[in-house]
Chains A and B, each alone.
Chain A
Amino acid sequence: MKGRVLLLLIIVFVGFSCRNSKSKTAEFVFPQSDSVPVSEAEKLSPEAIADISKNISSPVEIANLLQTLQVPFSQNYLAESIDANKQSTNFDKALKLGILGADLGYLNMYEKTGSSLEVLSSIRKIAEDIKVGQFFDFESIKRLSKNKSNLDSLLFISIDSYNKIDNYLRSNDRGQLSALMIIGVWIEGQYLATQVVSQYPDKMLSDRIGEQKIILNDLLLLISPYCNRDPEFTSLCKDMQDIKEKYRDIRITYTQGEPVSVEKDGGLTIKQTETSVVTMSKEQLNAVIEITKNIRDRLILNN
């Protein structure tokens, strides 16, 4: 009798444990609270902040996806209204540096080198204004932009320059500018993806937009310590919270599987069989498209 009770207890315990662990990994959910408490964000170590900033996806990945989907290049997606000479505050400058960086990534991937030189000169002006021009290798980028055969080097130097600026700002107590730059890159990448999907509906692209829910909280963590710094930051924090709100009911679930490895020609390829699945209605996608456009358009006109 005692043995049966014990066995029953073990079965119940194991059953609960399995269900709990399954539900823990089966769906991505935002943390409990609606916003990231400032105190929590302030506790982040410099290493954790560096980690978050490295974690944010590159606009080059979005541009790569667009190319895979054979979406033609369009100049209309670029933030052409940004006038580098009209940026008055460091807030504006850092945010625009991020937005232009994403545009540069898009242009580089599509090898639109003529336009990239114009963007590059705006980047140069803004970077010099916030005293980080020395980290941007303008001459090399300019030279490589004129020579289309060096796309690899061009991408490397462009991204590397931005990484150096980011590192420098964070290690010189100018973390607020680094956060703005990263948010600028993300908003412009998101704008690019949402504009394309509204013109060329595609499941893979809309899934990528829905999957941004995964990193939204990290972006909020980056900016949270500065939300009460001045009205500009307060407004941007509200914008990011509004975007997060639109993502609240978009679901990301996971199917289980074991990775498969294939060894070929001395190299190793790992194929993941686990998958993430985005459940997002047309209305939810439209809401994300709309809010992204409103915020991004307001930010680039804020000269």
Chain B
Amino acid sequence: MNRACFTQTILKLKYSTCELHHTNKINYTMMKKSIITLAFLFTFGLLSFGQVTDPLISNCAINAGANARYLKDFRIQLGKTASQSELRYKANMSLWKNTKYRFTMCNAQDSKGQLILSIKDESNKLILSSFDKKTGKIFSFIDFECQKSGIYQINYDFTNGQQGSGVGVVSMIK
């Protein structure tokens, strides 16, 4: 039985596949090659993954507005929750006086809920919210004219505690 192997080129990388035919002799050389190639593909795949920017983040950042300069992003992926007392995703960020910031919220296509934001200062005072509880209105972006430098708590969640995937981008407005 002979071992028939063929080589294919995908993304400039060669990989081999082999089929067993009627022979008792195992082609160890080809097997070794296949394992090495697979390992290489796996490693290359992981490294490439590290380089790729999530398109949801880049689209959200670049579409934040003509005068908006990207500063940071927060990638949020949350499951469904029954309790809705507080927004679940929390991070800190320093915001500086005399700077106008834009907080933009973008949702992934498969997101069940819409991404919402609230910001609190160091004394836990609510500074802003993108979700108006009275009217149910949700703003996809909020501009914040900061007059008090400090570390603020940035909170995100999805409407009604639903499962969701989205990104919050922080830019400054020129």
Contacts and interface: CB of A to CB of B under 8 A. Distances in A.
Interface in A134-149: 134-135, 137
B4 interface: no
Interface in B47-85: 47, 50-51, 53, 57-58, 61-62, 68-73
Contacts, number: 131
Interface stretch (B6-14, B20-28, B87-95): B87-95
A124 B69 CA distance: 24
B151 A214 contact: yes
Contact of A268 (B50, B58, B91, B142): B142
A214 B149 contact: yes
A215 B93 contact: no
Nearest to A218: B151
B119 to A, nearest CB: 9
Contact of A274 (B61, B99, B147, B172): B147
A270 B93 CA distance: 17
Given A61-B96, A270-B143, A159 B70 contact: yes
A174 interface: no
24 contacts: A51-B91, A52-B92, A54-B91, A60-B69, A61-B99, A65-B98, A134-B51, A137-B51, A152-B61, A157-B53, A159-B71, A160-B58, A164-B51, A208-B149, A211-B96, A214-B94, A214-B149, A215-B94, A259-B127, A259-B128, A269-B142, A269-B145, A276-B147, A276-B149
**Smallest CB-CB A-B distances: 3 pairs:** A211-B149, A272-B147, A269-B143
Interface of B: 47, 50-51, 53, 57-58, 61-62, 68-73, 91-94, 96-99, 121-123, 127-128, 130, 139, 141-151, 172, 174
